Structure 1
Amino acid sequence: MRAVIINSYGGPEVLRVAETPLPEPGPGQVRIRVAAAAVNPVDLQTRSGALAGLLPPRETIGIGWDLSGTVDAVGPRVTGFLVGERVVALSDRLALPAKAQADFAVLDAEAVGKLPPDVDLVAAATLPLNALTAAQALDLAGLRPGQTLLVTGAAGGVGGFAVELAARSGLRVVATADEQDELFVREAGASEVVPRGRELADVVRKRVPEGVDGVIDAASLGVAALDAVRGGGVHVAVLGGAPVPLRGTRVVNVWIRADGPRLTALAAAGLRLRVAETMPLSRVADAHRTLEKGGVRGRLVLTID
């Protein structure tokens, strides 16, 4: 089978679509025939070596976290999936010789969610990493209906899902976004949209004088976002680098974990799935170059024939 791999760190040119052995599912695992796999910033970080300190030494590292497709085979002790079922999944282990961007992927059954028949397979590949991160960040925030949540980077992958899920749960959402993204963010459920910038806390506190009850800091603004939170509130850092918990705030990091049942629920929730562009697997290096340029709205998705 084909799989996107690297054998050294560097620019997009180190990416290879290589022939690799077809993996066999072990106990508790399923093999998925991949239909589509999203390209995420973490893929660029893996390829460039930015995550090298987190990876054990390996000659070959597979690329990709998000995938959708159909169950191709099931291992022993798997009772929840049938061959041919449409699924969506998250490959959340950093160092595997083949990951989501491949013809086939073997994952623990607990990392796989079922996909409703009305959800497009290509669009579904944009769901796992970002929607699960947003949902798990909201869990950590622990806010109650009626409380106020600030979401930074609200037009991005994690931020967009965080706004939508928070609004559905009854939170008042204040979101940061550029003017060109304001309509998208409001349609996701934001009550207030404020511009990004150095004076974020002052701008937010003009709308919410006492400070918001919590923030999901998808844009990694750190102290600038924390300063908009009331004393004793909560700051959820999405990409690490959590700020010092000033003023009695509770500061936590969300570290994504695969969760098949949660994925099943998210896939059935009718969330907005944004595909910026599709490319064949052979153009994975072009996808990395496009994402590195910035300005992409939605996810780039590799389609597997």
Structure 2
Amino acid sequence: MVVRRFGGPEVLEIAEIPVPEPGTGQVRVKVAAAGVNPVDAGTRSGFLTEAGIVPPRELLGIGWDVAGTVDAVGDGVTGFAPGDVVIGLRDRPSAALGTYADFVVLDADAVAAAPRTVSLVEAATLPLNGLTAVQALDLLDLPSGATVLVTGAAGAVGGYAVTLAKTRGFRVVAVAATADETLVRGFGAEVFVPRGDFLADRVRAMIPGGVDAALDTALLGLEALDAVANRGRFVVFAAGAAPIPLRGIKVEHVWIRADGAALAGLATLADNGVLALRVADTLPLAEAVKAHERLATGGRRGRLVLTNE
């Protein structure tokens, strides 16, 4: 599934191309399932190209997440063999072939053994969103016991961020819709603040002086920054969404990268029942246009997943 021109979901098209061959240090994965993420829509619409993240090219592949089976390995690969069930992340959005495909070639260090206790459809929701949450938390560089605000805590990245922050010993303050309070507390949030006006005032009423850091997955910007204490930490999740670093707050952007070792750790947490993998619905790869139409409507708890049947 590729795009040759930017636009709405209708520009997605199926292209018949030769099966890619793995090079040195690479594996070829026969795709069973691929997660559908907002970044896919950003690629398709041209937003990432306008933002200077993806260079213009005639053919762009779509899809970052993959779960499937190793089909072939290149020279020098020792950790994987044909038949291994894996998950992986394609972190080069400018590549001509993404994970919305029958096969995808990835560097071996971008791949990990899939969780054993969940389906491949569920496993396909883990790489991009789980690694984004891990790498955002790494940027905080805070001690156990610190207070971390997570906006969009019921979303795919936000839900993982709440749970992973809890596993690191942080006190989590979650922001989500009132109806999602039980859900996000189940992820590990200690304090819940309904989204709405005057967010910072309401957070500070519960956390005097403000939180130590914020993971702003909902892209609230200054509204969330205002809840952070002086000289705190603030992590941004989208290009162009960084607020002015007021009051000595360190504002950083998480630029996701593939990391097979970290992905293996996430798979273990999933197998241990720590991470909840949420699938909103599945569609066959041929219905990627419909998946993107549904992605645009928002409001889902979990990811849409494309499958190869």
Q: Shorter-chain TM-score: what band?
A: over 0.9
* Partner residue in 1 for 2:75: 76
* Partner residue in 2 for 1:258: 258
> Alpha-carbon deviations, 1:106-146, whole Å to 9, x = none?
01111111113223111000001111000000000112111
Note the residue ranges of structure 1 that are not aligned, 5 or more in a row.
Answer: none
1:281 maps to amino acid? L
Aligned partner (choices 16, 21, 28) of residue 24 of structure 1? 21
Q: Does 2:246 correspond to 1:246? A: yes
8 Å contact kept, 2:115–2:123: no
1:15 maps to amino acid? L
1:36 maps to amino acid? A
Q: Does 2:198 correspond to 1:199? A: yes
* Partner residue in 2 for 1:230: 229
* Partner residue in 1 for 2:282: 278
Identity of aligned residues (%): 58
Q: TM-score, structure 2 length as denominator?
A: 0.96
Q: Does 2:59 correspond to 1:60? A: yes
Q: How does 1:112-191 map to 2 (within 5 A)?
A: 112-191=111-190
* Partner residue in 2 for 1:96: 95
Q: Hey, what's the Cα distance between the residues in 2 that align with 1:302 and 1:184? A: 25
RMSD, aligned α-carbons = 0.9
Q: Hey, what's the Cα distance between the residues in 1 that align with 2:7 and 2:231? A: 43
Q: Hey, what's the Cα distance between the residues in 1 that align with 2:135 and 2:48? A: 22
* Partner residue in 1 for 2:6: 9
Q: Hey, what's the Cα distance between the residues in 2 that align with 1:128 and 1:292? A: 21
> Alpha-carbon deviations, 1:184-207, whole Å to 9, x = none?
100000011111123010000010
Q: Hey, what's the Cα distance between the residues in 2 that align with 1:95 and 1:232? A: 36
Instruction: Quote the offset at 1:20 in angstroms.
Output: 1.3
Q: TM-score, structure 1 length as denominator?
A: 0.97
The size of the alignment, in residue pairs, is: 302
Q: SS at the partner of 2:21?
A: coil
2:237 maps to amino acid? V
Q: Hey, what's the Cα distance between the residues in 1 that align with 2:55 and 2:231? A: 39
